[in-house]
Amino acid sequence: MKWDEDAQALTRLGMMSDWQEFQGFDARKVMKEIEPFKDDWKRYNPNKPNNRWGLSVTSIDGGLSGIPDLTSLKNYEQETGIVVNNQDIVVPTKVWTQSEELSRLLLPWERWITRCHFLRMDRGGFFPDHYDINKHDPSYDEIRLTAFVNVNEYHFKWLYDDKIVKCNNGSLWYFNGNKRHCVFSTKDDMIIIVICLHWDRDLFTYMLDNGICS
């Protein structure tokens, strides 16, 4: 019965707004807090050369190696034979525990957070058209939030369902990743946070009660 209730809640979310804003944060403070980790950025999905970098907020062991949390989990399984899913990447790193404003941002969502990382796109970095759909484990549902930390409308473009999204620093959003989207940067140091959340009915209730209605 619980699974049916969770599935029903996810269906209801899918029929609502594709973008929903939540309580924001001090983006400048977050940028200052992650300065001590400037040498801990790792190339994002190194099997696909691209000017993208990640800084782990959660990882499989609490470390900042980026393996496997900043790689393609499918490729990692093919190379090692080890199966890792987003729900396995839940141990907070020092980036989370030592960053006051980041911790404040994540605290309301903590019980649902799985794979989470800063994503930096330098000049030429991009994500081609894709869908954020779990094709490998249909029994496990999740959604994603994105937080805009250091972006601007001139050099950072997020195309969602063929429309340009207005990205304001310090804002936190749920977005319907089941729709086609792509992202690209024409300047260094364009930074967002990607937050994967394990889905259940309680999360749906929290989102209903705490969304910012414009």
Please check the confidence at residue 2 and state whether its pLDDT lies above 70: no
| Residue 210, token pair as written in the block | 């705490």
Q: How many CB atoms sit inside 10 A of residue 15's CB?
A: 6
- For residue 143, which of 1, 22, 2 has the smallest C-alpha distance? 22
Residues 6+ apart with CB under 8 A from 39: none
Average pLDDT, the chain: 92
Residues 6+ apart with CB under 8 A from 43: 52, 53, 54, 66, 70
Q: Tell me, what CATH number does 10's domain have?
A: 2.60.120.330
pLDDT (0 to 100) of residue 134 = 63
DSSP 53-81: EEEESEESSS-SS-TTTTS-HHHHHHHH-
Tokens 């910012």 sit on residue: 212
DSSP 8-state symbol, 56:
E
| Tally of structural domains, the chain | 1
pTM above 0.85, yes or no: yes
Domain that holds residue 25: 2-210
